[in-house]
Each structure stands twice: as structure tokens, then as C-alpha cells.
Structure 1
Amino acid sequence: MYHNLNEKGGPLDCPHGYSLTLNCDGVPVFKSSLYSIWPLLGIVNELPYPVRKENVLLFGLWFGKCQMLSTVGFKLKRNGVLEQCRLVAALMMCDSVARPILQNMTQFNGQYGCSLCLHPGEQVQKGKGTVKAYPFKDVPKRDHASTISDAREL
């Protein structure tokens, strides 16, 4: 996937294109609080590996009741010149609670919460309660176009 980003017409087909590997996970401020802190950490993939692993960057810190906001692009001043840069997250690492928030999708325990297929899920008994399960059935897989379309509807 990374190499596709650099192809002609791809999002990094420009003089100042960079890709990131990001990590994000929400942390509640207090045990029973609605407020949470979401640090957005990342590395620049185009840096040499020894430099990359020693330079984890804090790209942002979201604090509040609502979920993290996203923006596209940024301005970077380098050698006295202000450049408009594009930024693509080539890889995002997060847990199963943060993932659907960042994807603008339904959480894993909701209807159609599987990010790989279009199975609606079934409530099944577990212990004294129930859990959402996605039994192996012949269901259509999500494709890129429908995933983008569905995410925009949420």
C-alpha cells in the first residue's frame, strides 16, 4: 500500500509529500469522567529507520467530551519558505475502541460493527449478559468505495 501512495497521481506525488505511521488511544481523565485525552503520536516514514525510531512526534492532543477532530494538510516553514504539505496516514495503530472512532464507523459491538464485512452481527448469550458476535457466514466483504460512502453518512 505504501508504494501506491508515491505513484503518479497518488497522494504523495508532489515535491513535499510525507506519510506517517500514527498511534492514538483515548485515556479517561477520571475513572467515571466523560472527558478524555487523546494523544496523537506518529513517525515520519520517509526518515531513515534509526532516525525514525528515535523521533516519535506528538502531533496533537485532544481533550474534551467529544471525539477527536481531524484536519487535512498543514503548513511547514522550512529554510524560511512556507510550504503547504499533504499528509497521509499510511498506517494507524490503535485499539478496537479507538479504531471505529478514527474510521468514523460503528463500534465493534454495534450493528454492522465489523470493519471487514457487511455482517450485521448477532447478540449471543455470554455469562450473565450478551455480546455482539459475527458468526462465519457467507456475507459480502466491505470494499473501499462503500466504506468511504458509509463513513460519510455517519
Structure 2
Amino acid sequence: MQAATTGTSQQGGSTWLQTDPLTFRHDLTGADRDYEPVSDVPELTIPFPGVWEISYLARPAISVSTNAALWVTTALFKNNALIPGSEAITGLQASDEVIQNTTGQTFLHKFDAGDRVTLHAYRIGQTGTANILSNADGRTGVMAHWVSPGF
């Protein structure tokens, strides 16, 4: 689901888009460095062109039971292609450890009307479990704020 608050005009108005508060657990089961969509987070559709401030938060959870390293990288995609500079990483190297935190990025990016923004993630390391979570203890979501008609 996508919540939107829109001002009265594109120029000078205030437009915000964001995902609603979500509750989910998305297991990352793919190969190392193989992005997969975090399908529990709905895509944001950009309503009109211009420069948008994009921000996202992701709550990775990582668990290892033997001496191992495991990492989670998150990023945003535009129309199924990586937005360079949106990547964030968290991880650990330990034995019998669990870590959860919130990671993400905020940046400016130019979009066309109808562009679709989605959250993706991958794991590095196959020993242990890695997932993206969202609940009242820590949320995962994507936000967009229209800034200007262009660079």
C-alpha cells in the first residue's frame, strides 16, 4: 500500500509518497550478491517528473550459529534497474550471534512520471539466516519527497 500526500501544485507544492507501516518477514535465500525484490514493500509510483528526495529504511536481521560472516545489502531500484548510490550494507562475523539494525540511504534522484521505485536486497554468505523485517519494533519503508522540476 502507498500513502500519498499531495499539495495543490507541482511547482511550490509539497508532495510526499511513502509506504504505510508494514509488518512482514522476508527471507533472503538467493545466491551471494543476487538482488531480489523485497516484495512485501509495495512499489512507489512517481506521479510527475522532477527531482525527488528518496529515502528508505530497511531492518535486516542476521543470524549465524558457527564462526561465519554474513552480510545484507539493500538498495532501491527504478523500473527494475539499480539506482547507483542507494546501496547500504550491514553484517557480522561471529559465532552464535544475531544482529538486527536499521539501515538505509537518503539521496536526490531525477525521475520521470510513472517511474516505479522498489526495494531490493541480497546476502553475502550462505552460512546462517538473513532476512528483512518490519514491525512495531522497527520498520522497513520507502519515502519520496518532490523537490523541484529538474536539475
Question: TM-score, normalized by length of structure 2?
Answer: 0.31
Q: Which has the higher contact order (CA 8 A, sep 6+)?
A: 2
Between structures 1 and 2, the one with greater strand share? 2
Larger Rg: 1
Question: TM-score, normalized by length of structure 1?
Answer: 0.30
Between structures 1 and 2, the one with greater helix share? 1
